[in-house]
Amino acid sequence: MRRVAWAVPVLTIVLTACTIGSASQAAGQPDAASTASTRAAPDASHPPSDGPPTLPAAPSGGPGRFSPTAKGILDGRVVLVDPGHNGGNFAAPSIINRLIWNGRETETCDTTGTETDAGYTETLFNWHVALYLTADLRAEGATVVLTRTSNTGVGPCVTERAAIGNEAHANAAVSVHADGGPPGGRGFAILEPVSDGINDAIVARSAILGADLRSAFEKGTGEPVSSYDGVNGIQPRDDLAGINLSTVPKVFIECANMPNAADAALVTSPRWQALAARAIAAGLASFLVGRH
């Protein structure tokens, strides 16, 4: 999503996110954060050998709502998990290239996402992380709403992804992505909303969510903040429908840079996918039950 450079007071922001591939090519407890961080660390000697958990797919792989599997620190919370893009987008140019209004300007309904140099797709990475994340959140008592329930469908459009979280009245929402930045750059970035009218009420809370996610992800995965996107791992964005149109606290996370060799080794690892998911879960828990 290479668009334009824009300025905000004090610093200049260079806009980057996962590369667009045109198919015509989610009451505090005082120790919540530390509790979540402890539970978020998987045993390195027991990597997930069987792949991510499975979930029943809705018709056509559409959105789904999943109840908690246990009681925990997230009892009563609703979290929107949005695995970016979709595996069927590659074969549906007439659908994903349709123009929509993102709250400020037109953009395409969806994109194909990026991939590693070896061809491992962002859609699959996003999907696997979302499955691990959903399981972690449900185990802590959260109800999870997914914007898609398979990796073989098309879309939904980015406007619909925002609407799903809004209609669920999610307490927090996160869109899971990986970036397609310069091969020499690596690291993760949190993309936060900029006030545009519709989302005015959630910008400040989204910034808190972004800070909690940044801290938890850096601590939980060891991945550095991006060397090329944003400042200290935070990038304000005004060109993404998913956050422009959100009425619930929401951010995007670009977990790594897929064209970078070191990051490519991570995003293709089931163990690191699970680690990334648990770090995101810890950040969400910090936001949802922490005292801000």
Ranges of beta strands (E only) in 67-225 are: 78-83, 99-101, 106-108, 143-146, 172-179, 189-193
Over 70: is that where the pLDDT of 270 sits?
Answer: yes
| Contacts of 180 by beta carbon, 8 Å cutoff, 6+ apart | 18, 19, 113, 114, 115, 122, 257, 258, 259
| Contacts of 58 by beta carbon, 8 Å cutoff, 6+ apart | 64, 149
DSSP letter at 225 equals: B
DSSP β-bridge partners for residue 235: 191
Mean pLDDT (whole number) for 221-248: 98
pLDDT value at residue 23: 39
Q: Give me 66's structure tokens.
A: 């999943």
**CA atoms of 193 and 104, how far apart (whole Å):** 12
Mean pLDDT (whole number) for 2-28: 37
Ranges of beta strands (E only) in the chain are: 5-8, 11-14, 64-66, 78-83, 99-101, 106-108, 143-146, 172-179, 189-193, 234-237, 250-257
**CA atoms of 127 and 177, how far apart (whole Å):** 9
**CA atoms of 110 and 197, how far apart (whole Å):** 23
Mean pLDDT (whole number) for 91-104: 97
pLDDT in tens, 34-80: 444 334 333 433 456 678 999 999 999 999 999 999 999 999 999 99
Q: Which region among 3-7, 59-63, 221-225, 261-265 has the lowest average model confidence (pLDDT)?
A: 3-7
pLDDT value at residue 290: 87
Name the nearest CA neighbour of 259 among 239, 217, 216, 229.
Answer: 229
Over 90: is that where the pLDDT of 14 sits?
Answer: no
How confident is residue 292, by pLDDT bands cut at 50, 70 and 90?
A: low
Mean pLDDT (whole number) for 5-33: 37
pLDDT in tens, 110-143: 999 999 999 999 999 999 999 999 999 999 999 9
DSSP letter at 115 equals: B
pLDDT value at residue 50: 75
Active site members: 254
pLDDT value at residue 11: 30
pLDDT in tens, 134-173: 999 999 999 999 999 999 999 999 999 999 999 999 999 9
**CA atoms of 13 and 272, how far apart (whole Å):** 29
Which residue type occupies 119? G
**CA atoms of 259 and 182, how far apart (whole Å):** 7
Mean pLDDT (whole number) for 76-95: 98
Over 70: is that where the pLDDT of 5 sits?
Answer: no
- Residue given tokens 């996160």 in the structure block: 174
Mean pLDDT (whole number) for 225-249: 98
